[in-house]
Amino acid sequence: MANVKCSIPKGTRDFLPVEMVRRNYIFDTIRSVFRLYGFEPIETPSLENLSTLMGKYGEEGDKLLFKVLNSGDFMEGVDFGQDYHKVAPQICDRGLRYDLTVPFARFVVQHRDQITFPFRRYQLQPVWRADRPQKGRYREFYQCDADMIGSTSMLNELELVQMINEVFRRLSIGVVVKINNRKVLAGIAELIGAPDKLVDITVAIDKLDKIGLDNVRAELAERGLTEAQIEALNPVFELDGDARQKLERLRELFSTIEIGLKGVDEMTELFDLIELFNLGCDVELDLTLARGLNYYTGAIFEVKAKDVQIGSICGGGRYDNLTGIFGMPDVSGVGISFGADRIYDVLTELDLFPQDLGQSARVLFVNFGPEEQKHCLRCAYRLREAGIPVLIYPDASKMKKQMDYANRKGIPYVAFVGESEMRDGTVTLKNMADGTQQTLTVDAMIDLLR
């Protein structure tokens, strides 16, 4: 048999134990905040029917969907001379989920009789996108979502901002929370005389941080906006001041534009609520924030790390009728998604992971032979009952080999049990940091290691 090159697909990663411990630290932190705000856990399948996914993320999103070929003779009767987008639905009827929000909308409709509205759910699962891999952008990555569905109250948006603040406070990451409203963007599109170009405007504006203002203007022109319409966007790009000043200026600009005024009212209410709390994170109104997903209809959020050049590490927004696509109209929802993989990169770059996260055990028992091993097993059993992680070296190898193992694993204590310790019912414990040793009873050892 020929040798097979050991590799994995681009945009995916293996995770070593130390990396998994750090990832679980992130997941546990986010999960604990979700539970603090009364969210309940669910899971959905990695595969969804393609009809569930297609058309929900915009033209660019549809292109990034991983489509799964049908089983059997899927090529029979298919004209492969057609455009790919016409061929794909004929040979693929399932796809890997692109995000957790659309599957959640499907879940709500499918299980409407088994959940209580307003319904709060959280979900920590992987998603897949056929994107070009680069720093902070992977083809397989985890999202950590929290959504509230069945309520239009702006208190929901407030609590999402509070949750963002709490998660990043616990992780010690300084962030800026950027907020906008799709109704404001719709008002801007109407203001410049291009209400039918809202999607084109939002898709282009959403790339502002990545490609710069000049390239955004060039893309708007490619998407059919006139030079006058593009120039009419300048007051929006150039609007300055705090959130309240920007909203008052927008109220003047939208004096006859109903949808724009509705967006201003919603943002005014939200920022009034935010001002009631002394949040540690910065919160700002960013009128260039668009978030390219088509299903957003109200408030939209994006979170950037202050001290690391990386894309959004959290985002979300309000969607008024996503469940309507699946036959359950007029059910409004709002949610956020934490990007665990980018958060990991931020914590790594800033060296913010707790130093003891990589410890597989608090103590290693050195193995001197069969009789000593029996005594170590009894001691280890007592320690584990007390909740202290313990390892016993499996073989009676040379002392140097066992001590090197403890050092490489970062185990802070090594325990020795010889003839005298077995006779006295004690353990000699060595602190690997300073080299000090003491002989203790198992009870005293438990008190120390706790």
- Residue 43: inside a domain, yes or no? no
Q: What is the reported pLDDT for 175?
A: 97
190 occurs within a structural domain: yes
What is the predicted pLDDT for the residue at 364? Answer: 97
> Is 389 among the domain residues?
yes
Q: Are 369 and 284 found together in one domain?
A: no
| Burial category of 430 from C-beta neighbours within 10 Å (exposed 0-12, middle 13-18, buried 19 and up) | buried
CB 296 within 8 A of CB 182: yes
372 and 276 within one domain:
no
Asked whether residue 299 falls in the same domain as residue 367, the answer is no
pLDDT at 83: 66
Same domain as 300, residue 181: yes
Do the Cβ atoms of 332 and 318 come closer than 8 Å? yes
Query: Which residue in this structure is represented by tokens 């920007």?
Result: 246
Does some domain include residue 436?
A: yes
397 and 294 co-located in one domain: no
Give the distance from CA 241 to its chain's centroid.
31
Task: Give residue 135's pLDDT.
Answer: 73
Q: What is the pLDDT of residue 246?
A: 92
Position 303 scores a pLDDT of: 97
Together in a domain, 179 and 284 = yes
Q: Does residue 253 form part of some domain? A: yes
Residues 179 and 280 in one domain: yes
CATH code (residue 401): 3.40.50.800
Give φ, ψ of 104 to 5 degrees.
Answer: -65, -40
Q: Do residues 286 and 180 lie in contact, with contact meaning Cβ atoms separated by under 8 Å?
A: yes
Chain-centroid distance of CA 56 in Å reads 20
Q: Which residues contact 310 (CB under 8 A, 6 or more apart)?
A: 135, 136, 342, 345, 346
Instruction: Give the CA-trace dihedral at 193, 197, 198, 202, to 10 degrees.
Output: -120
Count the neighbouring beta carbons within 10 Å of the beta carbon of residue 76.
Answer: 7
- Same domain (yes/no): 368, 301: no
Rg (CA), the chain: 28
Domain membership of residue 192 (yes or no) is yes
Question: What's the CA gap between 220 and 238, in Å, rounded?
Answer: 17
Q: Tell which of 259, 284, 306 closes a domain.
A: 306
Look at the alpha carbons of 143, 148, 149, 152 in this order and tell me if their dihedral is positive or negative.
Answer: negative
Does residue 430 sit within a domain? yes
Phi-psi category of residue 58: left, alpha or beta, with phi > 0 → left and psi -120 to 50 → alpha? left
Query: Which pLDDT score is estimated for 277?
Result: 93
User: Which residue type, as a one-letter code, is found at position 178?
Assistant: K
50 DSSP assignment: H
The residue out of 306, 321, 337 marking a domain boundary is: 306
Predicted local distance difference test score (pLDDT) of residue 115: 96
What is the extent of the structural domain holding 427?
363-449
User: Same structural domain for residues 258 and 380?
Assistant: no
Domain total of the chain: 2
- Could you tell me if 388 and 300 lie in one domain? no
- CATH number of the domain bearing residue 209: 3.30.930.10
Q: Are residues 179 and 302 in the same domain?
A: yes
Judgement on whether residues 276 and 393 belong to the same structural domain of the protein: no
Among 306, 329, 349, the domain boundary falls at 306
Q: What does each of the 450 residues of the chain score in pLDDT, given as a tens digit?
A: 567 789 999 999 999 998 999 999 999 999 999 999 999 999 999 999 998 998 888 777 888 999 888 876 767 666 666 666 666 767 778 999 999 999 999 999 999 999 999 999 999 999 999 988 887 678 999 999 999 999 999 999 999 999 999 999 999 999 999 999 999 999 988 988 888 888 788 778 777 777 888 888 898 888 888 988 888 888 777 778 899 999 999 999 899 999 999 999 999 999 999 999 999 999 999 988 887 667 889 999 999 999 999 889 999 999 998 899 899 999 999 999 999 999 999 999 999 999 878 778 999 999 999 999 999 999 999 999 999 999 999 999 999 999 999 999 999 999 999 999 999 999 999 999 999 999 999 999 999 998
Q: Is residue 371 part of a domain?
A: yes
Residues 6+ apart with CB under 8 A from 135: 310, 345
Burial of 55 (0-12, 13-18, 19+ CB in 10 A): middle
